[in-house]
């Protein structure tokens, strides 16, 4: 087992969702965890996480992201802040946020961690989103953790948990083609 960013990142198991949990730590903070075994090589999964179009494909059709930066989304995430409008479906804007990505060293070549320390531009939410990728028994062990801080965290708890279930299913479906 490898420990990354304060949580056990890579226990192994059967393909599919192993654990999808959520809990509120206080009224203004909540966490959602998702653990998957994906049928793709870890390097392929880690590379796909750097593709803004994969981020959009994972969230659709429930949510979508529209870049509000000059020039739109980059071909590949290289780190740093990027402003987006979050859309319900593809039609209703529900807020703006900053995606602020980096890829910290893990101490192992075969383990990848992507970190997003973004925030809502209205000042009501701050997120810490971590995705860990490592070799697994059927390809890749994938861990996805979202911490949300702010006065809207309790209200968003259940809707975000549902979105995370959707994300898990989309990751499983798309990973067959990676």
Quick one: average pLDDT of 28-33?
A: 88
For residue 40, what are the domain limits?
27-175
In 3D, which of 167, 178, 90 has the Cα closest to residue 129? 167
User: Structure tokens of 117?
Assistant: 């320390």
User: Structure tokens of 156?
Assistant: 């968003």
pLDDT value at position 170?
Answer: 95
Residue 96 lies in a domain: yes
Residue 66 lies in a domain: yes
pLDDT digits (tens, 9 = 90+) for 3-24: 333 434 433 344 444 555 555 5
pLDDT value at position 14?
Answer: 42
Q: How many domains does the chain have?
A: 1
Could you give the residue ranges of the DSSP H alpha helices within the chain?
Answer: 42-48, 52-59, 153-175
Residue 11 lies in a domain: no
Which comes out higher in pLDDT, residue 120 or 53?
Answer: 53
- Taking the C-alpha atoms of residue 5 and residue 47, their distance in angstroms, rounded to an integer, is 20
pLDDT value at position 26?
Answer: 58
Please calculate the CA angle 65-41-115 and round it to the nearest 5 degrees. 40
Question: pTM for this structure?
Answer: 0.83
On average, the pLDDT of the chain sits at 85
Instruction: Categorize the per-residue pLDDT at 66 as very low, low, confident or very high, splitting at 50, 70 and 90.
Output: very high
């Amino acid at each position: 087992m490898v420990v990354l960013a304060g949580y056990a990142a890579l226990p192994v198991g059967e393909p599919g969702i192993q654990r999808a949990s959520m809990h509120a730590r206080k009224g203004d903070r909540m966490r959602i965890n998702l653990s998957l075994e994906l049928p793709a090589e870890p390097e392929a999964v880690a590379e796909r996480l750097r593709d803004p179009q994969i981020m959009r494909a994972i969230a659709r059709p429930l949510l979508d992201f529209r870049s509000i930066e000059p020039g739109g989304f980059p071909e590949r995430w290289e780190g740093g802040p990027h402003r987006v409008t979050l859309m319900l479906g593809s039609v209703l804007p529900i807020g703006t946020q900053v995606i602020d990505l980096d890829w910290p060293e893990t101490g192992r070549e075969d383990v990848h961690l992507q970190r997003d320390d973004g925030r809502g531009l209205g000042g009501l939410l701050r997120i810490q989103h971590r995705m860990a990728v490592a070799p697994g028994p059927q390809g890749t062990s994938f861990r996805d953790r979202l911490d949300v801080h702010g006065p809207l965290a309790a209200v968003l708890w259940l809707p975000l948990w549902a979105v995370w279930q959707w994300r898990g299913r989309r990751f499983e479906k798309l990973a067959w083609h990676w």
